[in-house]
Amino acid sequence: MLAKRIVACLDVAGGRVVKGVRFENLRDAGDPVANAQRYCREGADELVVLDVSATRESRGAALDTVARVAEAIDIPLTVGGGVKDRDDVARYLEAGADKVAVNSAALADPGLIERCSERFGAQCVVLSIDAMRVGDGYHIATHGGSVPHARDALDWALEGQARGAGEVLLTSIDRDGTRSGFDLDLIELFAHRLRVPLVASGGARGATCFADALLAGADAALGASVFHDGDCTLGGVKAFCRSAGLEIRT
């Protein structure tokens, strides 16, 4: 079994790190490069940079920000936001990303996943899913979580996997930024059905939450504001997870 990962996330807008609650009321959280370097020092296994306003503003992620962050770190980098076609993916990879996350455009044109996987390899393609609880299940939302969609979130994840996505980044919109803990029911639902790695996001409060998410079946657990605000450190989270019996990357 592969070791579990602890991932730091930078939501960016206008060249700055931002964070809100359920994707709204964004507040400034610092410089992307400075935050990226800090999380490298603290032991992050990977970094995710998401341009949270790119799709709403009908543009791609800021390549200069991607390039500056990539130059400053020595851990794998995933970039997402505003990806519309294979050329966008190529630009982000050329700017230094190791993986590129697709979301709204893939839902509108599922063949985008296949085309990207065929051109760049499945290991470069991450299907990003923003899921919200609806009744007893979960539906997806697009455009930075602002546009609800009737599509079942798990069904979409399974289709994305079949089309060639090499990883799923799963965010609970209901928990995002709330620090109420990861949605463990959502994680378990996906983990039991997916064959590709699952990165859980949304709701991290402290080290215990990360361990819970990994024990629920996630291959990696992602945090943003909990790290930005210093509520816990990546090193502290990894140490706690090891004490809980989890194999964590060194």
- So what's the pLDDT on residue 141? 83
From the candidates 11, 31, 45, 176, give the one annotated as an active-site residue: 11
What contacts 122, CB < 8 A, 6 or more positions away? 164, 165, 166, 196
For residue range 76-101, list pLDDT tens digits in order.
Answer: 999 998 899 999 999 999 999 999 99
For residue range 119-172, list pLDDT tens digits in order.
Answer: 999 999 999 999 999 888 999 987 666 677 889 999 999 999 999 999 999 999
45 has catalytic annotation = no
What contacts 206, CB < 8 A, 6 or more positions away? 226, 231, 232
Average pLDDT for 217-231? 92
51 has catalytic annotation = no
Structure tokens, 137? 């299940």
For the domain spanning 5-243, the CATH number is 3.20.20.70
Residue 198 — very low, low, confident or very high, per pLDDT cuts 50/70/90? very high
Question: Considering the chain, what is the average pLDDT of its residues?
Answer: 90
CA geometry: angle 169, 173, 174, nearest 5 deg = 135
Q: With pLDDT > 70 as the criterion, what percentage of the chain qualifies?
A: 90
Residue 55 — very low, low, confident or very high, per pLDDT cuts 50/70/90? very low
Residue showing tokens 């790190």? 17
- So what's the pLDDT on residue 240? 97
CB atoms within 10 A of CB 238: 23
Structure tokens, 168? 């799923």
CB burial string 141-156: b at 16+ within 10 A, e below? bbbbbeeebebbbbeb
Residue type, 154: L
- So what's the pLDDT on residue 187? 98
Domain ranges (residues) in the chain: 5-243
Residue 60 — very low, low, confident or very high, per pLDDT cuts 50/70/90? low
Q: Please tell me the distance from the alpha carbon of residue 218 to that of residue 146, in angstroms, as a whole number.
A: 25
From the candidates 45, 88, 130, 176, give the one annotated as an active-site residue: 130
Structure tokens, 247? 């194999």
Q: Is 5 helix (H, G, I), strand (E, B) or coil?
A: strand
- So what's the pLDDT on residue 145? 66
Contact between residue 247 and residue 6 where contact means Cβ atoms under 8 Å apart: no
Residue 27 — very low, low, confident or very high, per pLDDT cuts 50/70/90? low
